[in-house]
Amino acid sequence: MDINIKEITAENWVDAVKLKVKEDQENFIASNAVSLAQSKFHPFIECHGFYAGEEMVGFSATGKNPEDGEIWIARFMIGEKFQGKGYGKKCSIKLLEFLKERHNCFKIFLDVAPENEIAIKMYESVGFKDTGKIQGKSKVFKLDFE
């Protein structure tokens, strides 16, 4: 399964908005529509779609925190019908490679609801470690490339 990342543009934003997580995951992540709206008011947020062939299978919103320059994965999701097929890990690895190259960074942060055990397991499988910090109600994780 070959995964490509494409910027969300006028040509593919509707596909991004149509991607939904499973109903029992909706409390863990804002909708892609909300993420796209935020990116229009916070220019440091970039939105991308993950593609398997010509089909969008996932979405991310990432950015460089303007206060401290740290790179964050603000949102990461795989569409409901693509979950459980290995796309989460493949897309996350592709995103990490993309962010490392784009920002020439050595660490990446994300936060995740403590109840979202499936996401935590997947993030840990690609190298993220729990920092012990809490942001809002979410646990903060960090990946060091060094």
Pair 63, 44: CB distance under 8 Å: yes
Catalytic residues, which ones?
Answer: 123
Interhelix angle 87-103/117-125, nearest 10 degrees: 60
From the number of C-beta atoms within 10 Å of its C-beta (0-12, 13-18, 19+), residue 118 rates as middle
Helix (H) or strand (E) holding 112: strand 107-112
The token duo for 34 is 């909300």
